[in-house]
Amino acid sequence: MSTPPRWTDRQLALLAALGVRDWWPLPPTAPEAEPQPKPEPQSEAVAAPAEAVRPPPPPAPALPQAEPAPLALTLDAEGLNAAIRACRACGLCEGRRQAVPGVGALPAPWMVVGEAPGEQEDAQGEPFVGPAGQLLDAMLAAMGLDRRATEPAKQVYIANAVKCRPPRNRAPEADELAACRPYLWRQIELVNPRLVLVFGKVAAQTLLGTDEALGKLRGRVHRLPDGRPAVVTYHPAYLLRQPQDKLKAWEDLCLALDTAEALP
C-alpha cells in the first residue's frame, strides 16, 4: 500500500485556495473538456470540489529557443494606458463602456494575462473583478501574490489579451487580438515580469501564436518571443464551471513557482 504524498505548506495553500481536497490513492483522471472561459458564470461562489490530488509535476523541460519579440510601441506606462483608452483600432471600441488597460505594479516580478474584460470589468475599468477575478485573486494569494501589493516580491500585473469587452462576452476574434497585441507586448516590456502566467486558450493563442488545445499547452514552460518564461493554465472562469480541473491548475501554478524560483 503506497503512502500519501507530503505536501509543502505552499502546496497546501494552493490546494486550499483552489478548493482541492487532499486524497490518496489516485482516482482515474476525468476526460478533459475543451476550456471555454466565456461567458462568466452567474454564481459568485467558488465551489469546493471533492477531487483527488496527484503528486507535483515533474521538473520543467528544457526551454525552447526564443524568437525575436514583435514590438512596435515605445510608449511609457501613462502614454500606453492613454493610447489604450482612446483606441479605435477594432470594432470592439463601439460597444465598450471603457477600455480596461490593466492593474498592478510596474515593474512587477509576475504578470497575468487573461482573455478580455467582461461586464463588470467594462463597468469598473479593472481586469478580473467578477466571479472569475475572485478565483484568480485566491489563486494569486496562495502563490503569495496580490494585485495591490506594495512589497515588490508580491507584486503582479494583470492584463487581458484584448482591452475592450466583446459583445455578449464572446471570444475575441483574430483581428481584435491582432489589433490589441502591440499594447500587450508593450505592457509585458514595461512590467518586465520574470514569468508570465497565461490564463486560457485565447491568451495562449495571442502570446504563443499557437492554436493548440489548452490541455496540450499546460504542464510545461513556454518561452515568449522575447525569451521570457510563460506557464499556461486554465482560465478561472473555466475552472468555475469545471472544478475538477482545479487540480491541474494547481499543478501549473506549482510549476510556475518552481520555474520562477529556479531563475537566476
Interface ranges with ligand URA (CB under 6 A): 37, 114-118, 121, 127-128, 130, 132-133, 160, 237
Beta carbon of residue 212, minimum distance to ligand URA (angstroms, whole number): 19
Q: What is the DSSP string of 104-117?
A: S-SS-SEEEEES--
How many residues comprise the chain?
264
Residue with the CB atom nearest ligand URA in the bound state:
114
Q: Which is nearer to ligand URA, 155 or 206 (CB)?
A: 206
Rounded CA gap, 210 and 214, in Å? 10
Task: Write out the H or E segment, with its range, that includes residue 16.
Answer: helix 9-18
Beta carbon of residue 126, minimum distance to ligand URA (angstroms, whole number): 8
Do residues 99 and 84 make contact, with C-beta atoms less than 8 angstroms apart? yes
Q: Which is nearer to ligand URA, 35 or 133 (CB)?
A: 133
Beta carbon of residue 131, minimum distance to ligand URA (angstroms, whole number): 9
Q: Which is nearer to ligand URA, 51 or 122 (CB)?
A: 122
Beta carbon of residue 24, minimum distance to ligand URA (angstroms, whole number): 34
Exposed/middle/buried for 56, CB within 10 Å: 0-12, 13-18, 19+? middle
Task: Write out the H or E segment, with its range, that includes residue 156.
Answer: strand 156-160
Rounded CA gap, 94 and 97, in Å? 9
Q: Which is nearer to ligand URA, 222 or 235 (CB)?
A: 235
Beta carbon of residue 61, minimum distance to ligand URA (angstroms, whole number): 27
Beta carbon of residue 161, minimum distance to ligand URA (angstroms, whole number): 8
Residue environment code for 164-183, b if the CB has 16+ CB neighbours within 10 A, otherwise e: bbbeebebbeeebbebbbbb
Q: Which is nearer to ligand URA, 115 or 252 (CB)?
A: 115
Rounded CA gap, 212 and 170, in Å? 19
Do residues 158 and 114 make contact, with C-beta atoms less than 8 angstroms apart? yes
Q: Which is nearer to ligand URA, 41 or 225 (CB)?
A: 41
Do residues 82 and 107 make contact, with C-beta atoms less than 8 angstroms apart? no
